[in-house]
Structure 1
Amino acid sequence: RTLLPALASARAQAANRLALLLGEPPPDLHELDAGGRQVVVAGLDSAPLFSAVAVPDPVELLRPGLPSELLRRRPDIRRAERELAGATARVGVATADLYPRFSLTGSFGFEGLSTSGLFTTPNGIWSIGPTVRWPILASGRIAANIHAADAREEQALLRYRQTVLGAFADAENALVALLRERERERAFALAVAAHQNALALAKERQSGGVDDYQTVLREELALFTVQDDHQLSRLAVADDLVALAKALGGGWQVDEVEK
């Protein structure tokens, strides 16, 4: 019960943030009466903001092979791309030819994830891991044409490259965080199952007179603790999933990507 006030406060703040995003008035604040029933203490009904939903599974929402075109939906990349297109129109460089081609297939797995050698330049070609090629410097003609123009074109190219690099870093960081938290959540799930078995065994031993009831209480407390950690990890997975979707530009669905 000591945790309930803090949880109620966090719930009310989350409801207010959701209402703000939806452009609606602040929702109701609820509390429990003496009989344990939920009652409205202020405002309008906030039930629509708190309808029960399952925590999304990242494996179902994000599958291997997400294309690099997703990042082009990011506002910062779109702006830098338009600026570069306008600046380089006179030298015949298409921004589509400067954008990297990559897939998250190599990274979106639960083993073998590595960020070493993220950006290397063999033979003048920018690459990100084994599934990415960046032709921005692959051709001496592109670089020569831009360097031969005035400083405005060159600055636009540098800004564009830096923006894309930053977007890749955001996506990679979000992906790593999601995968690692997913591993942590799975470990907690296994721990919950182990503690459930331990509790069942403790109850059997207590019924048979082998152990006292204190052992059962200790096992129950251990189970409740790891269950709480498991739920917090599941919420962290959902938060990391949102962060990855944001880093990839948002506004897309898995079935849309697979077409």
Structure 2
Amino acid sequence: MQVHQTCCRAAFGLLVASLLTSCAAVSEYMENGFKVGPTYSRPLVPVADDWIDGENAALEGSSSDLAEWWTVFEDETLNRLVQDAYDQSLTIRTAGLRVMEARAQRRIAAGSIFPQGQEAIGSLQHFQLSEQVSNQAYADKHFSQWNLGGGLFWELDFWGRFRRAIEAADANVDASIEDYDHALVLLIAEVAGTYIEYRTFEQQLVYARENIVTQEESVRVARLQREAGRENSEIDLPMSLSNLRRSEAIIPALQTALRVAQNRLCILLGEPPHLLQELLDATQSIPSPSPSVVLGVPADLVRRRPDVRRAERELAAQSAQIGIAVSDLLPQISVTGSIFVDANQFADMFGGRALSGAVGPDIHWNILNYGRIVNNIDVQDLRFEQLVNEYQQSTLKAAEEAENAVVQFLNSKNEVDRLALSAEEAGNARDVVLEKYTTGKIGFTAVFILESLVLEQQNALALAQGRQANSLVQVYKALGGGWELRLNRAELVTDQVPEVPIEPEEIDQP
């Protein structure tokens, strides 16, 4: 039974080989540049014709330049933070080192084109024959043997196996660069988002302190009213103190949030947590987003987002792996050779009579392993199909993230506008009732309610302004903006790590 299975495998192997040498296979083989396996082409991906809110006046469909999108906030501190993060981030350095690793792997693959095995041998042996036994054949009992030579083994890339490996390595280099770009997109968005969060907490702190000043005045008036013996004044002072203590309690929580955001910025900058007074000392307002955003068209996501491009490059690398697997079906054709010189005297080594050598072809064919080889082809093909689905899924996810960010950006403006009006009206009402309470025209209940409402509305306004600014950050992040920052510099050099190339290098084809 085992012999029968072995014969069947051998027959199947011969059948496959004969099919590969058919006219159609030969034609495809030549069109592929004398390489077996599929010719890679980028799969189609589902892309919408336009954005869901494409008719909104705040969205522009023209071609967009997102190279330095954070500058739309016109905030010099943010600009400096982004640049410092790019210069110092350990995450970016790690991604850059992965690019270097992929390029080294590519050079290893390129080396397979050339002779894979080489050796050089040299020896000197001195012989002394025994005088106590019969050695009549050797007149000279003392002589030397000089030997020098070398050999090589060269598997010819007849079916394109090594060239497919180079294709896969090239695609992996591209994927590593896209991974670097994706890390840069995420870093810039996180720096901007954390900075906006910091300014939001800072604005809430400003509102809290302003309300404390107003509420301290209410406490002063309530104390005077009680001293004057005004009716029901005995409950006014506790109520006013309750508002004041609640506002004061907000301060430590906001200070903690500020420190946490500041520490996060330090880590993003590649620095240990420390105070950033020099950079964040001046109290500034929450960055104000631009009233409109240039989106381009949904199809731009496929071209612009590094994570989508990375998925496509991984797909191209896997396509080349199929060709490598197919090449195992065919015989491996090699050339082996050796050359040696042998002589008893060193001076005689370079004469023609000392020369010897051999050269010839070598054919290795895994005829009896076709079950394993064919199944490996299936494995590589199924991995390719999985990556096709992942690539298409990445484009859908990119579109989802972009649409979600866009609708948040559009609606956040209405939220901020209405909360700003609400906070303003609440403040006006508080001032009126506080004046009337001071003159004894009304009780303290209205003051108590409106003081609480003002603080609540101002906090809501600050949070909404932060969400509005961050929604624009998320739009640019979803569009894949910011990776172009690396194009301004050919390399990243530091005192702690070696040069990290971030530009696609020219790769010589062997």
TM-score between the two structures when normalised by the length of structure 2:
0.30
The answer to which structure has the higher strand fraction is: 2
Contact 2:295 2:479 in 1 (8 A): no
Give the structure 2 partner of residue 18 of structure 1.
265
2:419–2:457 Cα contact (<8 Å) kept? yes
Contact 2:305 2:480 in 1 (8 A): yes
**Are residue 3 (structure 1) and residue 250 (structure 2) matched?**
yes
TM-aligned CA distance change 1:8 to 1:196, over 3 Å: closer
Aligned to 1:66: 296
CA distance in 2, matches of 1:213, 1:84: 71
Give the match for residue 56 of structure 1. Answer: 287
Q: Determine if contact 1:71/1:248 at 8 Å carries over to the other structure.
A: no
SS at match of 2:309: helix
Q: CA deviation at 1:227?
A: 0.9
Aligned identity (percent) is 38
Which letter maps to 1:22? L
**Aligned counterpart, 2:429:** 198
Deviation digits for residues 175-224 of structure 1 (CA, Å, limit 9, x no counterpart): 22333333322221121122123224324544665323543343233212
- Give the match's secondary structure for 1:244: helix
Q: Deviations over 1:67-95 (max 9, x none)?
A: 44256332211112334556789xxxxxx
Determine which of 451, 458, 468 is the counterpart of 1:237. 468
Give 3-state SS (helix, strand or coil) of 1:172's partner.
helix
Which AA in structure 2 matches 1:247? A
Residue equivalent to 2:274: 27
Structure 1 or 2, whichever has the larger Rg, is 2
Superposed counterparts of 1:122-161, under 5 Å: 155-161=386-392
What is the aligned partner in structure 2 of residue 167 from structure 1?
398
Q: Report how far residue 169 of structure 1 moved.
A: 0.8
Of residues 223, 243, 248, the one that matches 2:479 is 248
Distance 1:169 1:246 in 2: 12
Q: Is the 8 A contact 1:171 1:247 kept in 2?
A: yes
Of 196, 207, 210, the residue aligned with 2:441 is: 210
Equivalent-residue separation in structure 1 for 2:414 and 2:283 (angstroms): 25
Matching residue of 1:181? 412
Which of 454, 457, 460 is the equivalent residue of 1:226?
457
- Cα distance change on mapping 1:71 and 1:249 into 2, 3 Å: farther
1:50 positional shift: 4.9
8 Å CA contact 2:286–2:465 kept in 1: the answer is: yes
Q: Report the count of equivalent residues.
A: 176
Give the deviation of 1:26 after TM superposition.
1.7
Q: Superposed, which structure 2 residues align to 1:31-46 within 5 Å? A: 46=277
Distance 1:16 1:88, change over 3 A: same
Unaligned runs of 5+ in 1: 29-44, 90-149, 254-259
The Cα of 1:152 is off from its aligned counterpart by 6.7
Distance in 1 (CA, whole Å) between partners of 2:263 and 2:390 is 38
CA distance in 2, matches of 1:168, 1:160: 13
Aligned-residue offset at 1:158 = 3.0
Rounded to whole Å, the distance in 2 between the matches of 1:6 and 1:71 is 43
Give the alignment of 1:71-90 within 5 angstroms: 72-84=303-315
Structure-2 change in CA distance of 1:51 and 1:73 (3 Å): farther
* Letter paired with 2:455: F
The answer on whether the counterparts of 1:71 and 1:249 sit within 8 Å (CA) in structure 2 is no
CA distance in 2, matches of 1:59, 1:244: 12
Q: Residues 77 and 165 (structure 1 numbering): CA distance in 2 closer, same or farther, change over 3 Å?
A: same
Runs of 5+ unmatched residues, structure 2? 1-247, 321-380, 485-510
1: CA distance, partners of 2:466 / 2:280: 17
* Partner AA of 2:293 in structure 1: R
* Secondary structure of 2:442's aligned partner: coil
Please give the TM-score of this superposition, normalised by the length of structure 1.
0.56
